Amino acid sequence: MTFNGIRALELLKLGTRLANACFRKGQEEAIRHVVEGAGRLLLVQKTGWGKSFVYFIAAKLLRERAMGPALLISPLLALMRNQIAAAERMGVRAETINSDNRERWSDVASAIERDTVDILLISPERLANEQFRSEVLAGIARRLALLVIDEAHCISDWGHDFRPHYRLLERIVRTLPVNVRLLATTATANDRVMDDLQKVLGPELHVSRGDLNRPSLVLQTMRLPSQAQRLAWIAAQVPALAGHGIIYTLTVRDAVQVADWLKSRGLNVEPYTGETGDSRPMLEQALLDNRVKALVATTALGMGFDKPDLAFVIHYQAPGSVVAYYQQVGRAGRALDAAYGILLSGEEDIDITDYFIDTAFPTESEVSDVLDALETVPEGLSIPELMARINLSRGRIQKTIDLLSLESPSPIARQESKWQLTASDLSPAFWERARRLTDLRRFEQRQMQDYVNLRCGHMEFLVRALDGDPGPIRPPALPPLPTTADPVLVREAVAFLRRTSLPIQPRRQWPAGGIPEYNLTGRIPPEFQSQPGRALCVWGDAGWGGLVRDGKYRDRCFSDELVRACAELVAEWSPRPAPEWVTCVPSLRHTELVPDFSRRLAAAIGLPFHAALRRTEARPQQKNMANSIQQASNVVGSLAISAQRPPVGPVLLVDDMVDSKWTLTVAAWCLRSHGVEEVFPLALALTGKRE
């Protein structure tokens, strides 16, 4: 098929809305390669280069020659709004099927059947959905002209953004008819990933690889160990920076905390995380329109977001790999002569990235627990039924199920909502792959720390780490930013961290399946629920967290400073109806720790203390219970009302640590079952891993 370069340029101008638009180096050649069917193509180009224009223009040109539709597989559907809008300006009829638009599935399927869809966009996880495969994919597969694999590095075991369902693509690619064109795109394929992709996509794979240097970026790293130092640094520097940007954090909790701090300093910023939900498009548009100074974001705002004039990207903590960092910092300076990429590093970075590495694969004992449980029930078990049988979190069970189900042959199979064993054993290759990827992530973590320690040569380091040729690199003439924090601002940041209390939302449902021996199922009646509560801090965090940890495990007594802090919290919180007395959650291990603190707190706020609850028997430590069913079952029956009937007025219920909230839920249920009007939980710290 001949390539129409004039028509391709017309489409580019429509998509970009620029009458004088022209192709970047390599773009037109890539489109020509795909349209003419010159073989499978891997396109490796830096972020912002315009890879989406290659596949959208190619798809449109193929359709104009009466060819079939294209299928695009991408992990970034939620962040491709800009690219889809550009495609629609070119007359490309793009549709998507994902978990957020179930109500449109039948309409999209009908449009595919009528051949009025030019390109269908799906996530790799959709390939594992039997309904999608039978009702949609089967219909489009026989007419498919082009398969596009976006973020193709995820196919590779070595890819930094490992998406397990990309493994399904290996099977699909093997069975593709020879007349179906294949285009794979990525910004971050080092030599290891390239080797893997050639094994999966075929030895005859053509590669178009561009320059990885980002000449507009001024890169800088600095170690500021404490959260307060980094909060102070950001508060001082962000208002002084020209333009608008992104501040990246490793966790949801940190994104919210940094945004709250900057808002308290008068900065117009908003948090953006996987929990932001339906407001994400609105926040993206606010940044695109320069209506916010910055978004404080997790990797939920990552690959796929395109603001060419982004003036800075600041990292509050160091990511786990150079590849991830290159992707994120590469959002800045695409259409600017100069932009900042600043990496701050804190003392918690390694702990957080260690957690991500350690939990990336199930352990051998987790796999054994799941398979053993399924072996005892030939008809299969659902995820909630597995939770009732094994002490693993829902997330760990789901990850184990997901990864086992993607093996070929797989040791498990799904029948409606239940999972059953198959006749196949788990291959040793599963564990070899897990060890290989874990070792790589450890290497990447060390490499990232080497980057943090650099004094100069940052871009050269990144390009070499991606196996590119750095060549001569001349960063733009922007002055370096200060590497220390203002001591006054640091003290104010510490005060902010100590002022911040965290909500404790009450549980409103018993766990799936309930607690049958106590006849507790379904919704907890409102008259037996607690009110929303408060926690002073996060366990071990800056502010009060370290003092709480020291009090519990070093001093065996919580300090008077914590008593005063909680008294101030209660005064500021001012729950209504006002508590008339104080009680606490008892413990058989630390019999006086929480009661002693609660008595001193009661005296500080001028209320009587009553030991209204007692432990009826010793149970395993709650922190060792991994899911809701196990946690609730471990508490129910272990708490009871003391011999002396408690007061019935509203009560402040005190505990030291809160994780699953089941202890507070059951304690409130006990109290309210005995006539107490309202229960307001108060905890010293929230525990558990950062989100």
Number of CB atoms found within 10 A of residue 558's CB = 23
Grade residue 250 by pLDDT with cuts at 50, 70 and 90.
Answer: very high
Phi, psi of 222 (to 5 degrees): -160, 145
**How far is residue 565's CA from residue 536's CA, in Å, rounded to a whole number?**
8
Grade residue 78 by pLDDT with cuts at 50, 70 and 90.
Answer: low
For residue 335, how far is the Cα from the chain centroid? 28
Looking at residues 530-543, what average pLDDT do you find?
Answer: 90
Q: Is the pLDDT of residue 391 over 70?
A: yes
| pLDDT value, residue 159 | 58
Which one, of 574, 577, 581, 635, lies nearest residue 608 by Cα? 581
| pLDDT value, residue 79 | 62
**Residue 412 DSSP label:** E
Q: 165-169: long-range contacts (C-beta < 8 A, 24 or more apart)? A: 165/123, 165/124, 165/125, 165/127, 165/128, 165/402, 165/406, 166/124, 167/406, 168/124, 168/127, 168/128, 168/406, 169/73, 169/124, 169/127, 169/200
Which one, of 64, 60, 59, 54, lies nearest residue 26 by Cα? 54
Task: Determine what percent of the chain is predicted with pLDDT higher than 90.
Answer: 66
3-class SS of residue 8: helix
User: Which residue type sits at 219?
Assistant: L
Give all domains of the chain, ordered by start, each with its CATH number. Answer: 5-209 (3.40.50.300), 217-349+450-486 (3.40.50.300), 357-432 (1.10.10.10), 501-686 (3.40.50.2020)
Q: Is the pLDDT of residue 691 over 50?
A: no
Per-chain mean pLDDT for the chain:
91
Stated pTM of the model = 0.84
Which one, of 147, 179, 150, 148, lies nearest residue 163 by Cα? 150
Q: Is the pLDDT of residue 203 over 90?
A: no
Tens-digit pLDDT profile for residues 16-65: 999 999 999 999 999 999 999 999 999 999 877 889 999 999 999 999 99
Grade residue 75 by pLDDT with cuts at 50, 70 and 90.
Answer: confident
Q: Is the pLDDT of residue 138 over 90?
A: no
Grade residue 559 by pLDDT with cuts at 50, 70 and 90.
Answer: very high
**How far is residue 501's CA from residue 39's CA, in Å, rounded to a whole number?**
59
| pLDDT value, residue 539 | 87
Q: In angstroms, what is the C-alpha Rg of the chain?
A: 28
Q: Is the pLDDT of residue 464 over 60?
A: yes
| pLDDT value, residue 158 | 57
| pLDDT value, residue 165 | 83
Q: Which residue has the higher pLDDT, 139 or 420?
A: 420
Of 27-36, 95-104, 498-507, which one has max mean pLDDT?
27-36
| pLDDT value, residue 162 | 62
Q: Which residue has the higher pLDDT, 430 or 177?
A: 430
Number of CB atoms found within 10 A of residue 19's CB = 6
| pLDDT value, residue 556 | 94
Q: Is the pLDDT of residue 450 over 60?
A: yes
| pLDDT value, residue 555 | 94
Give yes or no for a contact between 528 and 669, defined as CB atoms under 8 angstroms apart.
yes
Tens-digit pLDDT profile for residues 595-621: 999 999 999 999 999 999 999 998 998
**How far is residue 523's CA from residue 509's CA, in Å, rounded to a whole number?**
4
Tens-digit pLDDT profile for residues 325-376: 998 999 999 889 999 999 999 998 999 999 989 988 999 999 999 999 999 9
